[in-house]
C-alpha cells in the first residue's frame, strides 16, 4: 500500500506520548520511545537532510523563572494588534543574564535578513516580532566548537545532535514554555548563541500554544537565516521539499496534496487545470522557467517540482512562483489585509484621525461614506471623516474602508477572494 507524502514531509512527529503513568506491566513490551523527525543542512547552499531524534518531554504547565528577567518579553517589531498580524517569536539560548542585550541585537539582525527574502520583503507590514528572554547559566551552546563541549543552557540547544555536527537540536517542551510568554506565537525561531553554521526544523511539532513550527539557527552565523526561511516554507507555506534521495527510487503513489510536488507533467497539469498550471511558462525568481522537473518530495523519479532549483531544494535560492503564492497564503492564515486605528467597529468623531495598516504596497485601499466612495481618498491610509464629506447634521454616518491585495504573486482565484477586508466606524 502506497503512503501519501506528508504536507511537510521534512519534519513530522513520529509518535505521541503514551497515556497513563508510563509504567509497564511485568512481562509486557515497553512502549516505543517517542521521536521526532527533524530537517538539517550540512553545508551552506547544500540540499537538506532529515533524521529522527528523541522527542522532548511534555512542557510543564508553567515556567518558573530561575533568575530575574527569565521569560521577559520585548516587542521588536509592532505592526498591529495580535490577531491581525503574524506573530514571530524569537527565543534565545546560551545567553546569560548579562547577554540579553546581545540576544536582542541578534534578533533584529536575523529578522532583517529573513524579512529581506520575498515574499517576506513585500509583506513586512503583516508581522509582529517578539523576543523572549531565556536566561542560561552558561554562555554558548553544547557542541560548539567541538562535540565534547557541554553547556548548561535554558533550552538545552546543542550541535552534534544524533551525532550530526550541523544538526542543532533543542528541547521543544522548554521552547513551548517560553513561547507561551509572548502575546501570541504563530512561528517560533530559536537563536543559539553561536557563530557555528547549523540549525534544524521542527515543522509539525505539536503545540498547545498554536504556532506552526520551530526553527533553530545560530545567532551570529550570517548564512543560518536561510535555514530558518526554508523551514518556514514548510510551516507557513505547507510546501514539500523539492530535493530527492537516490535510495527512494520511483514514486508510484497517489497525487500528493502538497502544492509544489506532483505526479503530473506540465502538459498533464495544464490539461487538468491542476497544481501550478497557472504559472507554467513564466519566468521564476529562483531562475529558469516554471515547468515540471522530475525529482522532488525525496523521490528522484515519479514526482515533479516546479523549477530546477528553488529555496525548497537548496539554500541560497529564492522561493519559486508557486512557492511564493503558498507563502502568501500562509501569511493570510494568520494576518489580515487591513487593521485599523482605532479598531474597526468603534465610534469616532468627525474630526478624528482614522488610520489603517495595509498588508503591502499592492493593497488597494478605498474609503466610503454611507456606502458611497470618497474617490479623492483612494489609496490613503489616514483620513479625517470631516474631510471626506461626513456632514455635521447631528445624525450618525458610516465610514468604511475596503482593502484588496492585488499582488501579481497570487493567481489562485480562491486565495485572491480571501485577500479582501472591510472595516467600519460609526461617525457621530
CB-based contacts of 65, cutoff 8 Å, min separation 6 = 71, 135
CATH number of the structural domain spanning residue 411: 2.60.40
Ramachandran angles phi, psi of 424, nearest 5°: -140, 150
Give Cα separations from 211 to 175, 236, 401 (angstroms).
11, 10, 30
CATH number of the structural domain spanning residue 40: 3.40.390.10
Whether residues 102 and 204 share a domain: the answer is yes
Reported as a single tens digit per residue, the pLDDT across 57-111 is 655 444 445 688 999 999 999 999 998 999 999 999 999 999 999 999 999 999 9
Whether residues 72 and 145 share a domain: the answer is yes
Instruction: Please indicate, yes or no, if residue 373 is contained in any of the structural domains.
Output: yes
Reported confidence tier of residue 222, pLDDT bands at 50, 70, 90? confident
Which of 57-71, 150-164, 289-303, 331-345 has the weakest average pLDDT? 57-71
DSSP string, 16-51: -PPSSS-PPPTTSPPPPPPEEEEEEESSTTSPEEEE
Please state the domain count of the chain. Answer: 3
Whether residues 86 and 162 share a domain: the answer is yes
Reported as a single tens digit per residue, the pLDDT across 41-72 is 777 766 777 787 877 665 544 444 568 899 99
pLDDT at 23 over 50: no
Instruction: Please indicate, yes or no, if residue 2 is contained in any of the structural domains.
Output: no
Residue listed under C-alpha cell 550530526? 164
SS3 (DSSP) at 247: helix
Please state the pTM of the whole predicted model: 0.86
Instruction: Please indicate, yes or no, if residue 120 is contained in any of the structural domains.
Output: yes
Whether residues 208 and 77 share a domain: the answer is yes
Whether residues 62 and 181 share a domain: the answer is yes
From 214, 235, 256, the end of a domain falls on: 235
From 212, 235, 258, the end of a domain falls on: 235
Instruction: Please indicate, yes or no, if residue 25 is contained in any of the structural domains.
Output: no
Selection from 203, 225, 392, 8 nearest residue 384 by Cα: 392
User: % helix / strand / coil in the chain, to the nearest 5?
Assistant: 20, 25, 55
Whether residues 304 and 385 share a domain: the answer is no
Reported as a single tens digit per residue, the pLDDT across 282-292 is 999 998 899 99
For residue 362, the enclosing domain spans 337-427
Instruction: Please indicate, yes or no, if residue 9 is contained in any of the structural domains.
Output: no
Pairing of β 382-383 and β 372-373: unpaired
Q: What's the pLDDT score for residue 44? A: 76
Amino acid at each position: 500500500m502506497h503512503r501519501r507524502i506528508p504536507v511537510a514531509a521534512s519534519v513530522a512527529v513520529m509518535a505521541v506520548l503514551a497515556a497513563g503513568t508510563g509504567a509497564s506491566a511485568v512481562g509486557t513490551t515497553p512502549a516505543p520511545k517517542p521521536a521526532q523527525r527533524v530537517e538539517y543542512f550540512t553545508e551552506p547552499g547544500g540540499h537538506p537532510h532529515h533524521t529522527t531524534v528523541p522527542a522532548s518531554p511534555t512542557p510543564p504547565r508553567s515556567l518558573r523563572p530561575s533568575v530575574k528577567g527569565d521569560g521577559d518579553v520585548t516587542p521588536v517589531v509592532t505592526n498591529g494588534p495580535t490577531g491581525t498580524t503574524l506573530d514571530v517569536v524569537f527565543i534565545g539560548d546560551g545567553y546569560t543574564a548579562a547577554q540579553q542585550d546581545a540576544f536582542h541585537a541578534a534578533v533584529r539582525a536575523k529578522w532583517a535578513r529573513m524579512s529581506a527574502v520575498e515574499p517576506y520583503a513585500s509583506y513586512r507590514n503583516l508581522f509582529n516580532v517578539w523576543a523572549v528572554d531565556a536566561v542560561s547559566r552558561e554562555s554558548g551552546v553544547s557542541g560548539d566548537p567541538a562535540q565534547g563541549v557541554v553547556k548548561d543552557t535554558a533550552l538545552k540547544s546543542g550541535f552534534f545532535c544524533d551525532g550530526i555536527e550541523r544538526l542543532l537540536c533543542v528541547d521543544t517542551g522548554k521552547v513551548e514554555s517560553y513561547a507561551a510568554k509572548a502575546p501570541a506565537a504563530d512561528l517560533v525561531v530559536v537563536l543559539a548563541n553561536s557563530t557555528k553554521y547549523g540549525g534544524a526544523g521542527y515543522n509539525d511539532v505539536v503545540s498547545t500554544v498554536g504556532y506552526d513550527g520551530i526553527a533553530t539557527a545560530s545567532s551570529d552565523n550570517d548564512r543560518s537565516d536561510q535555514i530558518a526561511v526554508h523551514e518556514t516554507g514548510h510551516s507557513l507555506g505547507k510546501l514539500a521539499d523539492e530535493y530527492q534521495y537516490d535510495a527512494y527510487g520511483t514514486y508510484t503513489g497517489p497525487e500528493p496534496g502538497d502544492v509544489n510536488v506532483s505526479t503530473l507533467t506540465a502538459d498533464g497539469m495544464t490539461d487538468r487545470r491542476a497544481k501550478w498550471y497557472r504559472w507554467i511558462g513564466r519566468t521564476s525568481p529562483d531562475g529558469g522557467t516554471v515547468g515540471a522537473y522530475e525529482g522532488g518530495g525525496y523521490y528522484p523519479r515519479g514526482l515533479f517540482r516546479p523549477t530546477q532549483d528553488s529555496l525548497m531544494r537548496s539554500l541560497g535560492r529564492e522561493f519559486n512562483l508557486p512557492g511564493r503564492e503558498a507563502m502568501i497564503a500562509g501569511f493570510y492564515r494568520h494576518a489580515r489585509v487591513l487593521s485599523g486605528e482605532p479598531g474597526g467597529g468603534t465610534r469616532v468623531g468627525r474630526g478624528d484621525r482614522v488610520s489603517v495598516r495595509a498588508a503591502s504596497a499592492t493593497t488597494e485601499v478605498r474609503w466610503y461614506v454611507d456606502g458611497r466612495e470618497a474617490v479623492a481618498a483612494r489609496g490613503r491610509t489616514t483620513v479625517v471623516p470631516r474631510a471626506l464629506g461626513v456632514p455635521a447634521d447631528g445624525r450618525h454616518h458610516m465610514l468604511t474602508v475596503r482593502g484588496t491585495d492585488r499582488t501579481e504573486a497570487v493567481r489562485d482565484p480562491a486565495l485572491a477572494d480571501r485577500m479582501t477586508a472591510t472595516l467600519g466606524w460609526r461617525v457621530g
